[in-house]
Structure 1
Amino acid sequence: MLRTLNYKINRWRLKRNVQRNFLLYSSVFVGFIGGLAATVLKFLVRFMEELSRNIASHLPFHIIYVFLPALGIFLTVAWQHLVNRDRMQKGIGSILLNIKRNRSNLRYNNIYSHLITSSLTVGFGGSAGLEAPIVCTGAAIGSNVGKFFNLSPYEKTVLLAAGTSAGIAAVFNSPIAGVLFSLEILIGEITIPTFIPLLIASATGVVVAKVLYSQQLFHLVTEGWKMNALPFYIILGALSGWTAVYISKVGGKLEKGIFTKQNRYIRAIAGGLLLGLMLLVFPTLFGEGYHYLQQMLNGNIEVLKEDLFFSQWLENPWIMLLFIAALVLTKIIAAGVTIGSGGNGGSFAPTMFTGAFLGLFVAYGVNQTGLIHLNTSNFIAVGMAGALSGVLHAPLTAIFLIAEITGGYVLFIPLMIVSAMSYVISRMFNKHNMYWEHLVHENNLDPAQDTGILNAINLDSLINRDYKAVNKLMPIADFFKILANSKANIFAVLNNEGTLEGVIWLDEIRKNLFNDLQEGRTVADIMVTPPAMIDHDEPMSSVMETFDGLDVWQLPVTKDGKFVGFVSKSALLSKYREVIIENHQQADIFAR
């Protein structure tokens, strides 16, 4: 039935020549489904969080906190292993990898698996966020809609990003931030043909979420910021940058896995129990932590004393300040333990949580000195933007997300200052954002747009195998006879095993033409060692870097140590130009 429907729709759109508008129609559908998925996820998580809290409230010292996260992570791992057969692709990094390496194709099961596993993880106390799961869900929706209608890789990428925009927008009720997230993190460039479908999907997702789940994530009432607070926003910006580096390093390392020598179920239980012990000391780390953030934005700092068995100690403001500092450092550790032990979640919400408490730390600490009174709510909101900007390397997303979800548009100047400073400081120590870091090192990928295009080119198709090989013992006179009947300007000098021993450049021959005619001289006297050799499996981005760094136009290619041919920079540039023209032609279809 689906195959018949697919055939009829594709026949209609091709016959009616509506290809240029079809992407816009598809983005509405993707946005609608993405909004539904985000709403379902919010309902599931809120229900399980309330259930967990009700259970914990009936036990002394909330001992159940120690066991609930282990249960949630265990169930998540069991689902992924037994039901999904390890086919679920976790994390935003997997989306980036699929865009670059798999033509934006995501498995169908990602549409529903993330909703189930992330609600189990976070709902039972896992200290992670729902943003990465909803991003993966929205991306899978867009990708599979594109596959269903046999769309091109470019169109599937746009719909994948549209699903992501709809998911983020629906979770936060922030349509602009949803679009900017996809543009800054997934696509890396802003073009009108791409921007419009994302905007449509994002708006559709927000409408669906507001109709079905109208509750605002955060609400901030503010009268704006004052000039005498500006130096402290600068301090917050600097601290946000350093904190972003801490989040990326510590969180990234823990998310790669803990207790890795144990089997998955023991790892889930051990990691869950470790997280449970952290929750026993810091109940504020439970789940996403948005409940505490909203209370603090309302000016209720006393909420941090909830569920604490040593709450009386926090009556001392300096001990409270140390407690806030501990929360800044421990949230990302708790998130890393959650994800590293097998839970499904993201670092987006923990980053916001950490930034919020960093802002609270600055404002609360300064206020205790009595020198000046800072608006605590403003610093909490701006701190969230600073941490996001530094970790994601996406300052626009951070600024508009916090402005939209808090209603704090009057804080634009502090948001800009803190986000910019955090981004600059973070980039000094981390060249790539948290999602790209491991992809760059483990998969030879680079987030640059031109690098993505280059890596899509197959090196094998550019190798010139029509070469003339000579032996280094060949007399110069015999070589010149070969040269007279050849149009090549580079020759390979090979031994009997096919290993490259050197190359002969025509330009070098011209310089020493008369010397080369001397009797008794051989090819060994005029050959040179090539400045570099290209491996057959080397990514094209690396090949181009080699060409640019050495300022040469031809280099030899080897495979398993054997010479296979030459690759020229001119051929690579020509192919690169063809790919760009092809991509632009696809984009122009939807721009008209």
Structure 2
Amino acid sequence: MNTSQQLKKNYHFIKYQKLIVVSVLIGFSSTLLAIILKRITEHYETILLIKAKEHWFYLFLFPLLGLGMIYFFRQYLFQKKENKGIREIFETTAQRRNSLPIYKIPSHFINGFITVIFGGSTGIEVSTVVATATIGSIAQEKENLFNRHKTELICAGVAAGITALFFSPFAGILFAWEVISKKINAVFLLVCSIATAVACLMLSLLDEKPLFTVQLQGWHWYALPYFILLGLLVGMHSVYLTKCVLFFKKRFTKIKNTATVFL
């Protein structure tokens, strides 16, 4: 083996060593963030729900209070920087030089927490996905060896976060592949497998329960057509919902621009 081959072998050995270490750290950090967000959200959501049952006018007051708090935090704490949801991840992975800034972690954490506990029509899933993707993005910035693996490290954070919420490593890896990466390679499998394994270990040690559980009473093959029909209906509904959101968002954006012109 000549010198260049030896150097190349050593380079890959060191790179994969560091990828394993950073995958463990991403898995631990992402899981910890997801668990904390889930626990405090469930805790305060229960408290406010009990209050709303006792006094009906809280059903109208809480959403207004939540909107006001989110507006205040966005205007003054995060300096009018908007949260675009998962689209932020797409914009980051599409450009090698672009990265998710660190403020996205507290921004999405607070936004998801306040929205859910005050009765907003959303969950903590998107907030968890973007915040954990930011952890992976930050890890990529810390080491020059990871410049080519930003998407894979972002996927590792997302996979660990989804695993922490639903205790399903397969769902975490599948989501990271289908939604974020859209391709599989050796690095993707390595970092996502390690990150989700760390997540599963932490969930087991902490006896953490998933967001919801489904009790299966047995499997019957005659139910298969109904599952296929359910998949088709849900797929059509998701496309319809996405198109509705984009349609109304586009219309409201035009209204805002028109108002700016008149002012």
Shorter-normalised TM-score: what interval? 0.7 to 0.9
Instruction: Please tell me whether residue 218 in structure 1 is matched to residue 236 in structure 2.
Output: no
Distance in 1 separating the partners of 2:227 and 2:236: 14
> 1:434-513 residue pairs with structure 2 within 5 A?
none
User: Which residue matches 2:166?
Assistant: 172
Distance in 1 separating the partners of 2:15 and 2:229: 52
Distance in 1 separating the partners of 2:23 and 2:198: 9
CA contact (8 A) 2:27 2:199 kept: yes
Distance in 2 separating the partners of 1:251 and 1:111: 24
Distance in 2 separating the partners of 1:254 and 1:53: 30
Instruction: Please tell me whether residue 157 in structure 1 is matched to residue 164 in structure 2.
Output: no
Residues 127-176 of structure 1: CA deviation (Å, up to 9, x unaligned): 11211111111111011111122344322222111111111111111111
Amino acid aligned to 1:47: H
Q: Aligned pair in 2 of structure 1 residues 253, 220: CA closer, same or farther (>3 Å)?
A: farther
Distance in 2 separating the partners of 1:82 and 1:212: 36
Residues 203-245 of structure 1: CA deviation (Å, up to 9, x unaligned): 2123223433512321312211242x45544543443343233
User: Which residue matches 1:33?
Assistant: 29
User: Which residue matches 1:45?
Assistant: 41
Residues 345-389 of structure 1: CA deviation (Å, up to 9, x unaligned): xxxxxxxxxxxxxxxxxxxxxxxxxxxxxxxxxxxxxxxxxxxxx
* Count of residue pairs brought into register by the alignment: 246
Deviation at 1:114, TM superposition (A): 1.1
Aligned with 1:81 (options 75, 78, 81): 75
User: Which residue matches 1:90?
Assistant: 84
Deviation at 1:179, TM superposition (A): 0.9
Distance in 2 separating the partners of 1:96 and 1:119: 23
CA contact (8 A) 1:169 1:203 kept: no
Amino acid aligned to 1:45: T
User: Which residue matches 2:247?
Assistant: 253
TM-score, length-normalised on structure 1?
0.39
Residues 93-142 of structure 1: CA deviation (Å, up to 9, x unaligned): 11111111253511011122211111001111001121111111111101
User: Which residue matches 1:118?
Assistant: 112
Distance in 1 separating the partners of 2:44 and 2:89: 27
> 1:571-582 residue pairs with structure 2 within 5 A?
none
Distance in 2 separating the partners of 1:206 and 1:257: 43
Deviation at 1:15, TM superposition (A): 9.9
User: Which residue matches 1:18?
Assistant: 14
User: Which residue matches 1:418?
Assistant: none
Aligned with 1:100 (options 94, 109, 122): 94
User: Which residue matches 2:261?
Assistant: none
Give the 3-state SS of the residue equivalent to 2:144 in structure 1: coil
Distance in 2 separating the partners of 1:124 and 1:199: 35
Using the aligned pairs only, state the percent identity.
30
Amino acid aligned to 1:186: I
CA contact (8 A) 2:88 2:100 kept: no
Give the 3-state SS of the residue equivalent to 1:105 in structure 2: coil
Distance in 1 separating the partners of 2:191 and 2:119: 36
Distance in 2 separating the partners of 1:257 and 1:81: 23
Give the 3-state SS of the residue equivalent to 1:126 in structure 2: coil
Q: Aligned pair in 2 of structure 1 residues 201, 256: CA closer, same or farther (>3 Å)?
A: farther
Distance in 2 separating the partners of 1:131 and 1:138: 11
Deviation at 1:258, TM superposition (A): 5.2
Deviation at 1:88, TM superposition (A): 5.3
Aligned with 2:126 (options 121, 132, 153): 132
Give the 3-state SS of the residue equivalent to 1:18 in structure 2: helix
Higher relative contact order (CA 8 A, sep 6+): 2
Q: Considering fraction of residues, name the structure with more helix.
A: 2
Distance in 2 separating the partners of 1:238 and 1:16: 44
Deviation at 1:246, TM superposition (A): 1.9
User: Which residue matches 1:493?
Assistant: none
Deviation at 1:193, TM superposition (A): 2.3
Query: 5+ residue gaps in structure 2?
Result: 1-9, 257-263
Instruction: Please tell me whether residue 148 in structure 1 is matched to residue 145 in structure 2.
Output: no
Amino acid aligned to 1:70: L
CA contact (8 A) 1:52 1:124 kept: yes
Query: 5+ residue gaps in structure 1?
Result: 1-13, 263-592
CA contact (8 A) 1:35 1:166 kept: yes
Residues 313-358 of structure 1: CA deviation (Å, up to 9, x unaligned): xxxxxxxxxxxxxxxxxxxxxxxxxxxxxxxxxxxxxxxxxxxxxx
User: Which residue matches 1:55?
Assistant: 51
CA contact (8 A) 2:177 2:183 kept: yes
Pairwise CA RMSD: 2.6
Distance in 2 separating the partners of 1:206 and 1:167: 11
Q: Considering fraction of residues, name the structure with more strand.
A: 1
